[in-house]
Structure 1
């Protein structure tokens, strides 16, 4: 029988690119040309003249990327060690940048640092590119002390570029150190490094988040006039959100029109922000105009847009209209998500309509949407606030069964209420459930135990333990 055509290194790269499953991709990489007729008692070296497979750099890049995306880090490290033995080529720095990024996203800072330190051992020179990847990974991991150490020692590794300063400025803005962010902005210019749209976007977003709209607009003007950098959609969105927070709707809509004139793509975040602001300002009648414009400009309302409307109606206690939006979503082929239902459950609980909130939570699976931990916490909180302790105990049992943990503040309120009522049977049952998820604090335990001792007249702690251990 004629042998099957062998997979070439070029063909392997093509196959790896097409394979979506990282496990199957790894099998293919490790054994690109399996023996179709394996010998049951093989010789350790049946064909000593057969040459080993000559993997290409692209194949290594592809498999490392797929394993990284799949968080198969042990296998990824094995492939890296194999690549290190290659003598036909030197790996490109981008491969290690990707590995560092994968570790950063998974909050594995030590492995990100280790990868950066190992780059020279692969006969690959470190540049500012891998240094920036490491800085960004450390920022994602919130390793701010190590982040600072690397920055102070930056000259040992590379000359900073605009990307370096963007990461540093982002770190300052994330920690509310706007003064330091401005100092870095001035420093990069003093070093001849031109700020780019990311630099301005980071600063403008931080200014808007801190209600410094005047400074944000001045910076927008400067970036266009002095630096000849045009604002992108992110900058406009940040400004619109900032304006909506302070109910400057006319200017927010003016910026939205500016985006359309600049041919910038508007996303659901912009429209949802405007819709929410209209509800807050008591102008829900204008929401239809926004939806009409979306249709005219080719933007379909998505779940985020509809959820903004649901939230607006619930805040007005117009639950009939909120359910009307749910029905409209189904007609438009936009399936409500768990947030859609959680918004209504929270609205019902706020108004004390606990039966309707409970009915909706029970009805969610029929509506093809399973309640999550927020659904249960919201209802449990509402029941505790209204001192509906029997129903709260029922919901608590469901939460414990699903391994959902209630909020400690509600737990304390729940136990305190049961102690005040003197319902020892329910209190003991609740304590037993709470012990399974370990969410009751020391002070609440003391209060409950004192009440149990006093009411049940238990003679010693061993009897108390027996009671608490009851199913």
Structure 2
């Protein structure tokens, strides 16, 4: 594979920058300090503070640019509203610190709750555990889970267990995650579909197909009805072993049970075909995805475009790039610029030019440049 194709695959494997928020729209021409200043003014409104979306998207944007001091500035400013808001507001702030990878700040806020005239509740504890997992501070998971509930006289629930299960799964400790199922039942807490789906994702997603099948059988024996979110990791696990026929049978099984395949279901086949370099089958599943009225997403584009370029299907690669911009699947320019560069190298200047011009015409322009042909 040529160096440019290796680079193309590499950039498409990167997670995309986060989608722009309303705050971005309001202050798109200002620097990030101005974004925070405007956010503070908007947060004076009770109605604004009730909306989680601008909080999450703004913090994610700042985290993407590694502006952690600004995240602290923004969230510390919000503490003044904790006393007059519901428990969910403080839990949101704790969670946002976690999503930014700032667990120490999340723990500090949790410990400060009494001074903010808000007694720590189970909602806050669950948010702290989630922040711990999000920040990958796995050494702290057991301490919080085992010690804090008793210390604070809090009765943990299925949400608490699900967060710890996720933490163990992310650590790769599936055995510890599974052991919590018995513990939950001993305490009269019934594992829910989220519990089972998390375990299925951890097993099938890591190529542990036999363990995944055992978990699946156990789930069914507990009279838990699987959904498409249960089947999708199973599809990915089967396709990781190139068992396409078995995967198609699973798709048929879903249909027979009235479970409609979604974008992730079709992506499992598309990714599997692309991994094997089978463009014809990858395109076949792509067209099936489109016919099912599901929407292509970042995974679809990231899997297909490098193989399309490698196999010389420039027209469809061009089309997917245009659609990715229209649907805001890719905000950053690295992936698109790599396609433009590749098309120019292959003397497909007209297609490359159309991508560049289309990017310039967007409301939030893509800074793409047309290189000189080799």
Instruction: Say whether the 8 Å CA contact 1:361–1:371 is kept in structure 2.
Output: no
Gaps of 5+ in 1: 1-106, 117-129, 455-471
The structure showing larger relative contact order (alpha-carbon pairs under 8 Å, at least 6 residues apart) is 2
**Cα distance change of structure 1 residues 349 and 283 upon mapping to structure 2, 3 Å threshold:** closer
* 3-state SS, counterpart of residue 274 of structure 1: helix
Counterpart for residue 322 of structure 2: 400
* 3-state SS, counterpart of residue 416 of structure 1: helix
Counterpart for residue 272 of structure 2: 347
Instruction: Say whether the 8 Å CA contact 1:135–1:167 is kept in structure 2.
Output: no
Greater C-alpha Rg = 1
CA distance in 2, matches of 1:399, 1:411: 7
Gaps of 5+ in 2: 1-37, 60-70
Counterpart for residue 180 of structure 2: 255
CA distance in 2, matches of 1:401, 1:292: 40
**Cα distance change of structure 1 residues 325 and 409 upon mapping to structure 2, 3 Å threshold:** farther
Counterpart for residue 311 of structure 2: 388
User: Does residue 149 in structure 1 map to residue 67 in structure 2?
Assistant: no
Counterpart for residue 372 of structure 1: 296
User: Does residue 428 in structure 1 map to residue 350 in structure 2?
Assistant: yes
CA positional deviation for 1:312: 1.4
CA distance in 2, matches of 1:205, 1:396: 40
CA distance in 2, matches of 1:327, 1:137: 37
**Cα distance change of structure 1 residues 346 and 236 upon mapping to structure 2, 3 Å threshold:** same
CA distance in 1, matches of 2:290, 2:103: 46
CA distance in 2, matches of 1:172, 1:405: 26
CA distance in 2, matches of 1:138, 1:370: 27
Instruction: Say whether the 8 Å CA contact 1:399–1:405 is kept in structure 2.
Output: no
CA positional deviation for 1:162: 5.5
CA positional deviation for 1:404: 4.7
Which TM-score applies when normalising by structure 2? Answer: 0.71
CA distance in 1, matches of 2:257, 2:246: 16
Deviates more, 1:338-347 or 1:175-184: 175-184
Counterpart for residue 18 of structure 1: none
Counterpart for residue 55 of structure 2: 139
Instruction: Say whether the 8 Å CA contact 2:103–2:137 is kept in structure 1.
Output: no
* 3-state SS, counterpart of residue 58 of structure 2: coil
CA positional deviation for 1:365: 4.5
**Cα distance change of structure 1 residues 189 and 317 upon mapping to structure 2, 3 Å threshold:** same
Counterpart for residue 216 of structure 2: 291
**Cα distance change of structure 1 residues 184 and 320 upon mapping to structure 2, 3 Å threshold:** same
Counterpart for residue 8 of structure 2: none
CA positional deviation for 1:142: 3.2
Counterpart for residue 264 of structure 1: 189
Report 1:17-28 matches (<5 A).
Answer: none
User: Does residue 187 in structure 1 map to residue 112 in structure 2?
Assistant: yes
**Cα distance change of structure 1 residues 237 and 299 upon mapping to structure 2, 3 Å threshold:** same
Instruction: Say whether the 8 Å CA contact 2:200–2:234 is kept in structure 1.
Output: yes
CA positional deviation for 1:178: 2.1
Instruction: Say whether the 8 Å CA contact 1:303–1:335 is kept in structure 2.
Output: yes
CA positional deviation for 1:234: 1.7
Q: Please list the CA deviations of residues 113-149 of structure 1 after superposition, one character each: whole Å capped at 9, or x if unmatched.
A: 45x4xxxxxxxxxxxxx89x55967635638656543
Q: Please list the CA deviations of residues 268-306 of structure 1 after superposition, one character each: whole Å capped at 9, or x if unmatched.
A: 332222123223555412333322222232211101110
CA root-mean-square deviation:
3.5
